[in-house]
Amino acid sequence: MYNEDAEHDAPINEPRLWRDNGWTARVIKNEDDEGWAVEMIKDGESEPALVGPWTMGRDKKNPKPLDTPAFHTLVKTASEVLRRHEQQLHADLHKSVIINTATASITVKLDIVPDEDDPYATLSAVDEDGEPIAEVRVAPHFKLTRSSAADWIAAEYRRPR
């Protein structure tokens, strides 16, 4: 019985193409200059996670062939790039500030939902014990600052305009 997925999952170890462990490394002509580049694509993704320069071979015309150590280094580097991108995206979508009032320390959070059709954000407040105080829906471009959080608290958690 023919299994196309099994064939696609089979490792490939060619001088300019390696596929293994969910990643594909492809040595390509560098569009910016005379040399070569390598692109790392995670299985299931359409865009490379990493594109970088690749070393010329001994003949100074063709690229150095991919090998096991180089592939493992490229996987590690591309994975780190994706991890940093995910961390930055999380930081962009989830922000918080702590406001100390005369009676309490209140954490105000902004959580953005980047829905294609209806993006929005939720502004919420919790007390020192993590108990919810208030929650309102706001525009996805709402700017959470110490000042905007303090203003929201002072306005008794009414929806900001």
DSSP letter, residue 47: S
pTM: 0.68
CB atoms within 10 A of CB 14: 11
Residues 29 and 75 in one domain: yes
Do 27 and 82 belong to one domain? yes
DSSP 95-115: EEEEEE-SS-EEEEEEEEE--
The pLDDT score that the predictor gives to residue 60 is: 83
CA–CA distance, 105 with 91 (Å, rounded to integer): 22
12 is a domain residue: yes
Query: Do 16 and 83 lie in a common domain?
Result: yes
Q: Report residue 2's pLDDT band, with 50, 70 and 90 as the boundaries.
A: very low
Instruction: Give, in order, the Cα–Cα distances in Å from 84 to each of 2, 71, 88.
Output: 39, 20, 6
The answer to whether the Cα torsion of 18, 25, 66, 36 is positive or negative is: positive
The answer to whether residue 62 scores a pLDDT higher than 60 is yes
Mean pLDDT to the nearest integer, 28-43: 88
Q: Residue 50: inside a domain, yes or no? A: yes
Instruction: Reply yes or no on whether the pLDDT at 116 is more than 90.
Output: no
111 and 146, same domain (yes or no): yes
160: in domain: no
Q: What's the mean per-residue pLDDT of the chain?
A: 91
Q: Are residues 32 and 57 both part of a single domain?
A: yes
Mean of pLDDT values over 61-69: 93
Per cent of the chain over pLDDT 70 is 94
Q: State residue 86's pLDDT score.
A: 93
Which residue range forms the structural domain that includes residue 127? 101-154
Q: Report yes or no on 159 lying in a domain.
A: no
Last residue of a domain, one of 53, 68, 92: 92
Q: How many domains does the chain have?
A: 2
Same domain, 105 and 88: no
CB 122 within 8 Å of CB 113 = yes
Instruction: Indicate the pLDDT class of residue 33, thresholds 50, 70 and 90.
Output: confident
CA separation for the pair 157, 106 (Å, rounded) = 12
Residues 68 and 119 in one domain: no
Instruction: Decide if 132 is inside a domain.
Output: yes
Check residue 8 and give its pLDDT: 59
77 shares its domain with 145: no
Paired strand residues for 37: 28, 53
Query: Does 77 share its domain with 139?
Result: no
Together in a domain, 78 and 112: no
The verdict on residue 51 lying in a domain is: yes
Do 31 and 59 belong together in one domain? yes
